[in-house]
Amino acid sequence: MPGIRQYLFRGPQAVTLLILVNICTLFLWYNDRKDLEVNIFNGIEGEAYCPHPHHHAMGPATVTHTETVAETVLSRPKAEVAGPAFCDSCGPHDLLCLQYGDHTLARSRVYEGANARFRRVIKKAMAGRPIKIGVLGGSVTNGHGLKQNKVENWTARYLKAWKALFPRSETVLINGAVPATGSGYFSMCWGEHIEEDMDLIIIELAINDQRIEENAVAYEWLLRGLLDLPKKPAILNLQTIGLAFPQISTGGDHHTPISAYYDTPVISLRNALAQHIYNNASLDEHYFSRVNPETPDWRHVNVHGHKLMSDLLLSYTQRQLCAIEREKHDPRPWIDSSEGKLPGTDILEDIPRLRLLQKYDRTSITSRVKPFCLSTRTKKHPLVPMESEGWEMWTYQGRLAKPYLRATEPGSYAKFDVQVGVMNRVRVTYLRSKTFGLGDVWCWIDGNKKGGTRLSGYWNVDNVNIAIVGVVSDKTPPGKHVLTCEVMQETNDQGKGHEFRMIAVDAS
């Protein structure tokens, strides 16, 4: 009696069966290899990347973008590529690599790390869950020099690209940038500019910080405060380029080793561009804004610089998405054979118990800091004196992004209630400049005027007018206290100016 296989392949029934099998095979092959693309070109429409259809994802979402140059292509994987087609690094669908070159993208990635937090956030977005992105930065991120800030700013570009990458995830971005302000201010006042429930926080302060140790200390406190937020947010450090300062090296070069210590990635525009600009000096006109028709503004990158910042950040995001897809398709868990002598993956999202900028010991645990901040740059907790004479809210030439509490006459005073914490510290953020005619104030805690501190608005630094943080006291007991600042008759300003511009008061 013939076997089943022999019976199935006889006569017209066998032909019909073979045809059905081939149709089913082609259908499954097509669904696995079907490209879902987003071509973000000059008005070209495409389909946004969604999870594999076997994961029962929603259908593709159509996205239209009207930028004048290509930004990215997101597409379904080919059989040999895990994840979207751009995961074929520098292949025909990796438009960012084709546009900038693998060498440029590689140089921009100053520190990568394990990306445990960032990949967790990406997985959350891939699953279609809502994402909140917060940004802390200076005048570059605030959009200085851009004609259409809402579309040209790197934050707007990155948000649009993120939404195209994860169309099922509802994403919001809060731009908390404050012009002429650095890590000293943000270390205790970040909560005035972003919310506590952020999933991802991007810091852009490299050129706002001078390369001095006190800014490095402040940046470390900023990182610790953000990493300790309820959602354990991922932190990315995005560094721009500035060529207007006494040194090409800026505070960002202190940020990098501290970021590495806390395993937070660093993406640098300066690393990608600087050498090429040195060799082709006219390119500074291509990447920087202009002070006037003759002079480039070497502090603030223009629309081309913003686009490159966004694209470098997007390329890094794609890189981590592809790493997630590779791990999903070919998991290779690490097995510790060292009997606990090597670190495991369970600590990757932890905050080190010791700060980098302190001495090692076996037992100390760095205290959590709850900042207290009053600021002219926020509506949450505005800088309003409990008592004052001769001080007023003021903006330079009506520039609403830079309000100050200002006094111009000696003897003018202002008092503030402050809440001091475990650091026993009270500080004032104020403007310093060589050319603005700024004077000096004497500040003290409670009734201890003799034990006060002098803060000088003048400094002998060319072409740098920026917010600086001055410590009034680091020995004040925790609890409520009163800070008083009074404009002095004596002044360090060469023109004998007395004006003083206060930005914030903080305690910790």
pLDDT of 66-75, one tens digit each? 333 344 444 4
How large is the average pLDDT for residues 37-66?
35
Query: Do 204 and 139 share a structural domain?
Result: yes
**Strand partners of residue 407:** 391, 500
Q: What is the largest CA-CA distance in the chain?
A: 116
Lowest mean pLDDT segment, chosen from 42-46, 134-138, 253-257: 42-46
Does the pLDDT value for residue 43 go beyond 80? no
DSSP string over 307-320: HHHHHHHHHHHHHH
Written as one string, the DSSP assignment of 439-477 is -EEEEEETT--TT-EEEESB---TT--EEEEEEEES-PP
Residues 410 and 321 in one domain: no
Beta bridge partners of 441: 455, 487
Tell me which DSSP letter residue 438 carries: B
Q: What is the mean pLDDT of residues 76-105?
A: 86
pLDDT score for 64 = 33
**389 and 318 fall within a common domain:** no
> Which amino acid type is present at position 68?
T
Is 46 a domain residue? no
Residue in the structure block whose two tokens are 């003083």? 500
Output the pLDDT for position 490. Answer: 97
pLDDT of residue 69: 38
What's the half-sphere exposure (Cβ side, CA atoms, 13 Å) at 332?
Answer: 4
**Domain membership flag for residue 30:** no
Same domain assignment for residues 108 and 206: yes
Residues 281 and 417 in one domain: no
What pLDDT is attached to residue 464? 84
- The H or E element spanning position 500 is strand 500-507
Four-residue CA torsion sign, 423, 425, 431, 435? negative
**pLDDT score of 9 more than 80:** no
Report yes or no on 360 lying in a domain.
Answer: no
Q: Is the dihedral of CA 479, 484, 490, 492 positive or negative?
A: positive
Count the domains in the chain.
Answer: 2
Q: Which residues are CB-contacts of 34 (< 8 A; sequence separation ≥ 6)?
A: 76
Domain boundary among 295, 314, 329: 329
The answer to which of 184-198, 234-248, 395-409 has the lowest mean pLDDT is 395-409
In order of 31, 183, 248, 324, the CA distances from 216 in angstroms are 52, 8, 17, 32
Strands 38-39 and 453-456 come out as unpaired
The reply to whether 365 falls in a domain is no
pLDDT of residue 472: 98
- Structural domain includes residue 19: no
* Residue 79 scores a pLDDT above 50: no
User: Among 15-24, 106-115, 257-266, 489-498, whose mean pLDDT is lowest?
Assistant: 15-24
Please report the pLDDT score of residue 31 as a whole number. 45
Say how far apart CA 266 and CA 316 lie, in whole Å: 10
Tokens 């669908």, residue located: 93
Contact 383, 184 (CB under 8 A): no
**What Rg, from alpha-carbon coordinates, does the chain have?**
28
Do 153 and 255 belong together in one domain? yes
Given a contact cutoff of 8 angstroms between Cβ atoms, the answer to whether 269 and 310 are in contact is no
- Mean pLDDT (whole number) for 243-272: 96
Under the banding of pLDDT at 50, 70 and 90, the label for residue 82 is confident
Residues 6 or more apart whose CB falls under 8 angstroms from that of 267 comprise 108, 109, 110, 236, 237, 238, 239, 312, 313, 316
Q: What percent of the chain has pLDDT over 70?
A: 84
CATH no. for residue 120? 3.40.50.1110
- Statement to judge: residues 98 and 246 lie in one domain: yes
Answer whether residue 400 shows pLDDT above 60.
yes
Closest CA to 66 of 157, 169, 170, 159: 157
Residue 337's contacts (CB-CB under 8 Å, 6 or more residues apart) are: none
In this model, does residue 18 exceed pLDDT 50? Answer: no
Does position 453 have pLDDT exceeding 60, yes or no? Answer: yes
Claim to verify: residue 221 and residue 320 sit in the same structural domain: yes
Please indicate, yes or no, if residue 367 is contained in any of the structural domains: no
pLDDT on residue 39? 36
Judgement on whether residues 308 and 442 belong to the same structural domain of the protein: no
Residue 68 lies in a domain: no
Q: How far is CA 310 from CA 115, 149, 290, 297, 439, in A?
A: 19, 14, 21, 20, 40
Q: Which of 23-27, 120-124, 306-310 has the lowest mean pLDDT?
A: 23-27
The CATH number that applies at residue 379 is 2.60.120.260
- Domain match, 93 and 203 both: yes
- CA 207/CA 250 separation, integer angstroms: 6
**pLDDT above 60 (res 57):** no
pLDDT at 249: 96
Q: Which of 275, 306, 329 is the last residue of a domain?
A: 329
Mean pLDDT of 365-371: 94
Q: Which residue has the higher pLDDT, 6 or 145?
A: 145
Report if residue 72 sits inside a domain. no
What pLDDT does residue 13 have? Answer: 53
Q: What predicted TM-score, i.e. pTM, was given to this entire model?
A: 0.84
pLDDT of residue 316: 98
Burial of residue 418, with CB atoms counted within 10 A of its CB: 0-12 exposed, 13-18 middle, 19 or more buried = buried
- If you average pLDDT over every residue of the chain, what do you get? 87
Q: Are residues 283 and 386 in the same domain?
A: no
The whole-number average pLDDT for the span 75-90 is 75
The reply to whether 166 and 313 lie within a common domain is yes
Q: Are 502 and 468 within 8 A, CB to CB? A: no
Domain extent for 292 = 55-61+83-329
